[in-house]
Amino acid sequence: MSSAKPCCLVICSAAIDGVSTQPFIQAVTLLNSAFTLQLATPNGKAIEFVQQDDSGRRWLNDFRSKSVATPTRLDTIDVSRYACVLIPPAPGALYDLAKDADVATILNQAVAERKPVCAVGLGVAGLCGAMKDDRLTWTFSSYSLTGPSVLSLAKSPSFANLPLIIEDFIKDNGAVYSASKADHVHVVVDQNLITGQNEESTVVAVQNLILLCNARQGKQNLPS
């Protein structure tokens, strides 16, 4: 029996607004224990990490020395090779992943194959471009999920210029939205979809992703 770890696809924004450093570190650290990781970005562009502190910079410097740090192109991804998909918190996701056709294709295939999908914080914007075959219905319209609330986004100085308001999109497209009013840790698990409201929800969301993958793997390994 093979002891190789299953693969997790980590979809990251390549926009200038970037990927949030600390949640990315938390996610990768947790995932490394259970998966072989593959990063992917639009056109395989380098990831711009934002909100770095000294410890984050040191971690990233070490991380960048490893082959896993080089992202592949989203349009080369074969979803069947991966056990699950993660979109970590990324302010840049509002600007590229939310409207990326390759992200939409990956997510639709993951849903069709019942692969666990996890999106956290502003990374939830990456789910918004996935439409069903009729091009009118959102792939996640029948789900319950969370993401940054209008109230939390309104605190941002760039709120008026945001291209997408995640809470409004979820509600306008038929899904059920919930959030912690105090912007505390809040994670929603519905079928194969895990969403986290904010960056603070990263650890709990990723832990749920690992548990869901383990449970799915266990079912697959049951004798028929």
pLDDT score, position 223: 43
Q: Which residues contact 21 (CB under 8 A, 6 or more apart)?
A: 49, 50, 51, 52, 53, 56, 60
* pLDDT for residue 221 is more than 80: no
Predicted pLDDT of residue 182: 86
- Is it the case that residue 169 has pLDDT exceeding 70? yes
Residue 30 lies in a domain: yes
Distance CA 162, CA 157 (A): 10
Integer Cα distance of 87 and 98 in angstroms = 11
Dist CA 164 CA 122 (whole Å): 10
Q: What is the pLDDT of residue 222?
A: 45
Which of the four pLDDT bands, split at 50, 70 and 90, describes residue 3?
low
pLDDT at 83: 97
pLDDT recorded at residue 219: 64
What domain count does the chain have?
1
For residue 1, tell me if it sits in a domain.
Answer: no
- Going by pLDDT thresholds of 50, 70 and 90, the confidence category of residue 135 is confident
pLDDT, tens digit (0-9, with 9 covering 90-100), for 67-115: 999 999 999 999 999 999 999 999 999 999 999 999 999 999 999 999 9
Query: Is the pLDDT assigned to residue 21 strictly greater than 80?
Result: yes
CATH code where residue 35 lies: 3.40.50.880
Residue 2 lies in a domain: no
- Is 43 contained in some domain? yes
Over residues 2-15, mean pLDDT: 89
Q: What is the mean pLDDT of residues 175-183?
A: 94
Q: Which residue has the tokens 């970005």?
A: 41
Question: 143: domain range?
Answer: 7-220
pLDDT above 70: percentage of residues in the chain: 96
The whole-chain average pLDDT of the chain stands at: 94
Mean pLDDT of 25-34: 96
Q: Does residue 100 fall inside a structural domain?
A: yes
- The pLDDT score that the predictor gives to residue 13 is 98
Residue 36 domain-assigned (yes or no): yes
> Is 130 a domain residue?
yes
String of DSSP letters for the chain = ---PPPEEEEE---STT-EEHHHHHHHHHHHHTT-EEEEEEGGGPPP-EES--HHHHHHHHHHTTSGGGSPEEGGG--GGG-SEEEE---GGGGTTGGG-HHHHHHHHHHHHTT--EEEEGGGGGGGTT-B-TTSSSBTTTT-EE----HHHHTTSTTGGG-S--HHHHHHHTT-EE---TT----EEEETTEEEESSGGGHHHHHHHHHHHHHHHHHHHTS--
Given this model, what pLDDT does residue 216 score?
86
Residue 37 lies in a domain: yes
According to the model, what pLDDT value does residue 163 have? Answer: 96
201-218 residue pLDDT tens? 999 999 999 999 999 877
Q: What per-residue confidence (pLDDT) applies to 37?
A: 98
The pTM assigned to this predicted structure is 0.95
